[in-house]
Every structure is written in structure tokens, then in C-alpha cells.
Amino acid sequence: MTGLLLLAVLADRLTRLASVSLSASPPAAAADTAHPGAARSAPARVSSVPPPPTADTRGTPTLDRLARLAVRQQLAQWGTQTYLDSLISTTDSVVRRWPDRNGQPLRVVLLEGGAAGYAPRMAGLVRQALDRWAGAGVGVTFAEIPDSVEADIVIRWIDRFDIDRAGQTDLTWDQFGRVRRATISLALHSTAGAALSDPALLSVAVHETGHAIGLPHSADSNDAMFPSTRTSALSQRDVRTAQLLYQLPPGSVRDVPSH
């Protein structure tokens, strides 16, 4: 039943979205990563959250309500096996992810250099991070391109952040929860000026790539998406959360009163 309802709402939303202009998008949201291996870190913050999407009274409200209920039931069914509840709480009940691309990869530009201390091997660390998420069975893949104008994801290096973090991902998405662009900034040094090791850089790159595909933070330190990144290996919860995210239709899951 859940699957049938999800298929029905996808068809309904596609019909309604055909007449919607995508020229405007809400403010970008920033996800950050604290220094890898730090004993303590303040909780990561989301710098801006898009306004709650208004209920669309066109189409078939009853069908939409049933579909939203089906999504909420699926989220509840997965329970503690994922951390998508973190996404729902920080986006005001919006499932936020890249729209289905019919097998087309996300286009990535890796801007090498740009900061003192950069070495070509560091680009390889980023490619490892992309490969780990591509191999997670989520259905999201990546293709490196040379033109940043055409890119879906731009990855750049900086010397350091002014506050305690080693990476940041800025996402832009529309009112329907569809991600349109991501920019990943990776630091070469801690805020105090210490050079980050290759394992630390890889851990941050894996974490920020997770944000770039739409994942929120996890409260479990065993997950790659824990705010104070401690591992570059994807946990089963990381994989299940990403897989569930891309099984759900983007958009609000809040109940809308019927009229």
C-alpha cells in the first residue's frame, strides 16, 4: 500500500510541478563539520532553513495527504535504523534530496589548488569520498567535469575556517525539496593552523559529500555523518539513511488539513 501511495503522489506532483517556475530558490543551507578527532565539539548548525512550503490546494488534496501519511509511516518504520528524523526536524518536515536523474550522474567540478599547502594527492582523497557514496547503492553517481558553470557540485579547498570546523557544504534547494546545487569547502588546516592529515581530510570529504547528496547529521559517533567526523568509513546507518532518502519523494511530509 505504501508503495502504491508513493507512486500515486509522484504522478500527481509531476503534473502539478509542470506549471511551476523553478527560477527562484530559498536561501542556501550550510552544514558544517568540526575538526576530525576532536574530543568535544559544539553541535553543528544549519545557517538558514527555507520557509515552510505552503499547502498546494490544486490537484487532489486527499491523495496528497495520503501520500504524506505513507511517507511518515515509512520513516517511522525505519525508526532508529536511520537518522532521517534529523533531516525532517531541520527542514521543517521537508524531504530534501536531488531529484531523480534517470541514471544521469551528478556533475562534479573539483577546483584543485587555491590554498597554501595543497597537493595533487588531495584531489584523490575527494575522489575516494565520492566513490564511497557512489558505491553505497543509493542510486547517486558522480561524473567529474571541467566547467563549474555546468556543475551540480563544486568542491574547493581553503586554508582554514574562522570557526571550529574543517568542512562546509552549502546547498540550494527549491520549495519542493529538490536540491539544485551544492558547494563543498574543505580546509587544509584546523582553525588553530595545524595541517590536517590525509585520513582527516578523507573523513571530512566523506562527511561533506554526504551533506551534498542531502544527508543530515547523525547523533551516533560511529556514523560518518556524526558532526565531529571521526571515520571515513560509511556505517550501515549511513547507507540505510541514504537509501531511504532516495526511496522517498522530495517535498513536505507535514499533514495538510483537508478542506
* Domain CATH code at residue 161: 3.40.390.10
Per-residue pLDDT reduced to its tens digit, 117-167: 999 999 999 999 999 999 999 999 999 999 999 999 999 999 999 999 999
The three grid cell numbers given for residue 1, joined into one nine-digit string: 500500500
Closest by alpha carbon to 12, among 73, 57, 76?
57
**Would 49 be classed as within a structural domain?**
no
Please state whether beta strands 179-187 and 153-158 pair in parallel, antiparallel, or not at all (unpaired). Answer: parallel
User: On the CB side of 112, how many CA atoms lie within 13 Å of its CA?
Assistant: 11
User: What is residue 140's predicted lDDT score, i.e. its pLDDT?
Assistant: 96
- Our count of domains for the chain comes to 1
Rounded distance, CA 70 to CA 64, Å? 10
Which residues in 92-122 are b (16+ Cβ under 10 Å) and which e? ebbbbbbeeeeeeebbbbbeeeeeeebeeeb
Helix (H, G, I), strand (E, B) or coil at 91: coil
- Chain length of the chain: 259
User: What is residue 64's predicted lDDT score, i.e. its pLDDT?
Assistant: 67
**Would 52 be classed as within a structural domain?**
no
**Would 225 be classed as within a structural domain?**
yes
**Would 40 be classed as within a structural domain?**
no
Its domain, for residue 107, covers: 2-17+30-35+59-252
**Would 119 be classed as within a structural domain?**
yes
Closest by alpha carbon to 93, among 53, 140, 61?
53
User: On the CB side of 52, how many CA atoms lie within 13 Å of its CA?
Assistant: 10
* Residue 184 contacts residue 208 (beta carbons within 8 Å): yes
- C-alpha separations of 34 from 10, 38, 40, 43, 65 in Å: 37, 8, 9, 9, 39
Rounded distance, CA 57 to CA 53, Å? 12
**Would 54 be classed as within a structural domain?**
no
- pLDDT (average), residues 169-188: 96
- In this predicted model, which residue has the larger pLDDT, 8 or 210? 210
Helix ranges restricted to H, 79-196: 84-90, 121-134
DSSP sequence for 15-69: HHHTTS--S-----EEEEEPPTT-S--PPP--S--PPPPPPP-SS-HHHHHHHHH
**Would 23 be classed as within a structural domain?**
no
Predicted confidence (pLDDT) at residue 257 exceeds the cutoff of 50: yes
Per-residue pLDDT reduced to its tens digit, 39-66: 322 233 333 334 444 444 445 567 666 6
**Would 176 be classed as within a structural domain?**
yes
Predicted confidence (pLDDT) at residue 181 exceeds the cutoff of 50: yes
